[in-house]
């Protein structure tokens, strides 16, 4: 090789090396710039606040949470001894059930959990998607998709009291107040045989008596160690009649749920200063999430606020629904069924996004199977809902895909979903509590949508999907089975 060719080649080499170096530097500068911008947004939206109430939650090793765990897994709280709370909220399924619509008392095989759980005659009578019970203790205002168990002036209001009226029997926590309701629902736990009493408290008393082996239902189980368990849980030597009351049952289950704190995510580590906890794509997603639409952001944060990612208000986003549940003609009208206020029609409590990666399918009816679909919905709600019906996506959902006449089970679904969509056009009508955020017309290209999905995946707690780590919250076949009625889940 001639000398000048050598020089030319080596110059070329060093030039390209130099370009690479420049690119690297540029990338670093971009990435530092991104971290800086994010830190401003985090500050601005109080995403680095301490999570309120986090430090007051019970530990899973406490006697009361341990009792609550046994109760949560016990089918003896269902009329026909075939459903436990864990049937729809199993820790191994991230505190939910992996179904679009929950299946309770009419499961074909009551031990089967997850996508394979089938409903007798395809009768989906629960009507809503089961939210996770992880982080139950972090909700400050209300529980359920419509917050029908909620703090009001002076205490907690429930379906047992009038709207905005204190239920004097609700107990002290939202979790305890909520735990009194699944057992009174025919479709979730009660079934049709056990007890048709005049009111909810009648049902609860009978369940407590059967468990405590006193009153009307005695010697139902071959073994019954509940008294010992309650005495340990409540550190008391009182009798069954005193200790095994439904209020105590609900309190213990509530404490178990409140012990399920799963907030240690890459996002939180990032917020606390570990800038390597997120990928660049996740950082770009976070930036879009936290930036308002005037600055080309997605403005998710206007509703998904603070470190728990929810304003706990009632907002209208018009995810597709199946058109069943609260109102025969209007479908699931959401908060309106609680408040009786027409402005609340189709409004639901803003979901928390903690661990959201683990709790598909999404929305109050579980109509979107993936986070990609949810984000695409926000990009263009109308197109997304229309596609859902044109492409018959309902019948792609795990729960419905093997059902022969799937498209005819919910024949009102399209009408009702379109009606909810219609409301978006007429929004800016504030609902109760001043809720009334509007859904911005955001334009997200495919890369941006992917970045937001990646960001949502950074909200997953390191323990929440690790079975070994979850062991303390999962009932043990032998140790946690005081009456032989423990749910033996098959997945």
Give residues in contact with ligand HEC (CB under 6 A). 77, 83, 85, 87-89, 102, 104, 126, 128, 130-131, 133, 136, 143-145, 175, 178-179, 182-183, 188-189, 253, 257, 298-300, 302-304, 315, 317, 319, 348, 350-351, 353, 356, 359, 362-364, 371, 374-375, 378, 437, 439, 452, 456
- Considering only CA atoms, which of 148, 128, 483, 75 is closest in space to residue 336? 148
Q: Which is nearer to ligand HEC, 9 or 229 (CB)?
A: 229
Q: Nearer to ligand HEC by C-beta: 10 or 311?
A: 311
How far is it, in rounded angstroms, from Cα 67 to Cα 481?
11
Decide if 137 contacts 53 (C-beta within 8 A).
yes
In the complex with ligand HEC, the residue whose CB is nearer, 131 or 240, is: 131
Query: Residue 307 Cβ, how far from ligand HEC at the closest point, in Å?
Result: 16
Burial class (CB in 10 A: 0-12, 13-18, 19+), 129: buried
In angstroms, the CA 142 to CA 91 distance is 22
Minimum CB separation from ligand HEC for residue 81, in Å?
Answer: 13
C-beta of 166: minimal distance to ligand HEC in Å? 19
Instruction: For tokens 């955020």, name the residue.
Output: 437
Nearest alpha carbon to residue 126 among 147, 97, 160, 148: 97
Based on CB atoms, which residue is closest to ligand HEC, 227 or 344?
A: 344
- What tokens does 134 get? 């992880």
| Residue 119 Cβ vs ligand HEC, minimum distance, rounded to whole Å | 10
Minimum CB separation of residue 320 from ligand HEC in Å reads 9
Nearer to ligand HEC, 180 or 268 (CB): 180
Q: Give the nearest distance from C-beta 408 to ligand HEC in angstroms.
A: 23
How far apart are CB 167 and ligand HEC at their closest, in Å? 16
Peptide bond into 416 cis (omega under 30): no
**Whose Cβ is closer to ligand HEC: residue 98's or residue 227's?**
98
Q: Classify burial at 488, counting beta carbons within 10 Å of its beta carbon; exposed 0-12, middle 13-18, buried 19 or more.
A: exposed
| Closest distance of CB 18 from ligand HEC, Å | 40
C-alpha of 226 from chain center:
30
**Residue 26 CB, nearest distance to ligand HEC (Å)?**
28
Q: Is the dihedral of CA 78, 82, 85, 88 positive or negative?
A: negative
Query: Is the CB of 83 or the CB of 470 nearer to ligand HEC?
Result: 83
Cα first-last separation, the chain? 69
| Exposure on the CB side of residue 278, measured as CA atoms within 13 A | 32
How far are the Cα atoms of 316, 426, 442 from residue 439, in angstroms, in the given order?
Answer: 8, 11, 8
Give the other-Cβ count within 10 Å of 21's Cβ: 10
> Residue 334 Cβ, how far from ligand HEC at the closest point, in Å?
7
Q: Does the CA dihedral 139-144-145-149 come out positive or negative? A: negative
Instruction: State how far the Cα of 311 lies from the Cα of 266, in Å rounded to an integer.
Output: 22
List Cβ neighbours of 228 (8 Å cut-off, separation of 6 or more). 482
Q: Tell the burial category of 68 from Cβ atoms under 10 Å away from its Cβ (0-12, 13-18, 19+).
A: buried
Give whichever of 271 and 456 is closer to ligand HEC, judged by the CB atom.
456
- Smallest distance from ligand HEC to CB 130, Å: 4
Structure tokens at 245: 């009351």
Q: How far apart are CA 458 and CA 401, in angstroms?
A: 30
Measured from the CB atom, the residue of 95 and 408 that comes closer to ligand HEC is 95
- How remote is the C-alpha of 64 from its chain's centroid? 24
* Minimum CB distance to ligand HEC smaller for 38 or for 375: 375
Nearer to ligand HEC, 231 or 355 (CB): 355
């Amino acid at each position: 090789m001639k000398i000048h060719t050598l020089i030319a080649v080596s110059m070329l080499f060093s030039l390209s090396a130099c370009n690479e170096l420049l690119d690297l530097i540029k990338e670093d500068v971009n990435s530092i710039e991104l971290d800086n911008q994010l830190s401003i947004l985090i500050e601005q939206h109080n995403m680095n606040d301490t999570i309120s109430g986090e430090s007051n939650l019970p530990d899973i090793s406490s006697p009361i949470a341990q009792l609550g765990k046994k109760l949560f897994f016990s089918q003896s709280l269902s009329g026909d001894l075939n459903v436990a709370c864990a049937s729809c909220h199993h820790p191994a399924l991230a505190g939910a059930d992996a179904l679009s619509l929950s299946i309770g008392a009419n499961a074909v095989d009551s031990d089967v959990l997850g996508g394979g759980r089938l409903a007798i005659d395809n009768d989906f009578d629960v009507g809503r998607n089961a939210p996770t019970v992880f982080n139950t203790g972090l909700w400050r205002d209300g529980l359920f998709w419509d917050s029908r168990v909620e703090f009001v002036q002076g205490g907690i209001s429930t379906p047992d009291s009038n709207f905005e009226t204190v239920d004097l029997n609700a107990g002290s926590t939202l979790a305890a107040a909520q735990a009194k309701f699944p057992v009174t629902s025919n479709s979730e736990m009660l079934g049709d045989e056990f007890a048709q009493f005049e009111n909810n408290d009648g049902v609860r008393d009978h369940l407590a008596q059967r468990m405590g082996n006193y009153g009307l239902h005695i010697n139902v189980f071959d073994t019954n160690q509940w008294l010992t368990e309650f005495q340990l849980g409540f550190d008391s030597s009182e009798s069954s009649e005193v200790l095994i009351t439904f209020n105590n049952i609900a309190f213990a289950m509530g404490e178990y749920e409140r012990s399920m704190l799963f907030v240690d995510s890459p996002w939180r580590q990032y917020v606390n200063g570990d800038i390597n906890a997120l990928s660049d794509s996740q950082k770009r997603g976070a930036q879009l999430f936290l930036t308002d639409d005037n600055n080309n952001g997605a403005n998710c944060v206007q509703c998904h606020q603070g470190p728990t990612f929810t304003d706990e208000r009632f907002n209208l986003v018009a995810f597709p629904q199946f058109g069943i549940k609260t109102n025969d003609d209007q479908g699931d009208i959401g908060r309106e069924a609680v408040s009786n206020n027409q402005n609340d029609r189709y409004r639901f409590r803003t979901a928390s996004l903690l661990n959201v990666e683990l709790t598909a399918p999404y929305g109050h009816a579980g109509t979107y199977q993936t986070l990609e679909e949810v984000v695409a919905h926000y990009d263009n709600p109308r197109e997304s809902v229309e596609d859902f019906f044109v492409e018959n996506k309902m019948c792609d959902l795990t729960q419905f895909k093997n059902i022969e006449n799937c498209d005819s089970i919910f024949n009102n679904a399209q009408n009702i979903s379109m009606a909810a969509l219609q409301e978006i056009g007429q929004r800016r009508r504030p609902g109760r509590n001043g809720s009334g955020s509007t859904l911005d017309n955001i334009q997200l290209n495919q890369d941006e949508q992917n970045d937001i999905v990646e960001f949502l995946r950074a909200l997953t707690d390191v323990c929440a999907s690790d079975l070994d780590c979850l062991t303390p919250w999962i009932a043990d076949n032998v140790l946690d089975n005081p009456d032989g009625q423990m749910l033996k889940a098959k997945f």
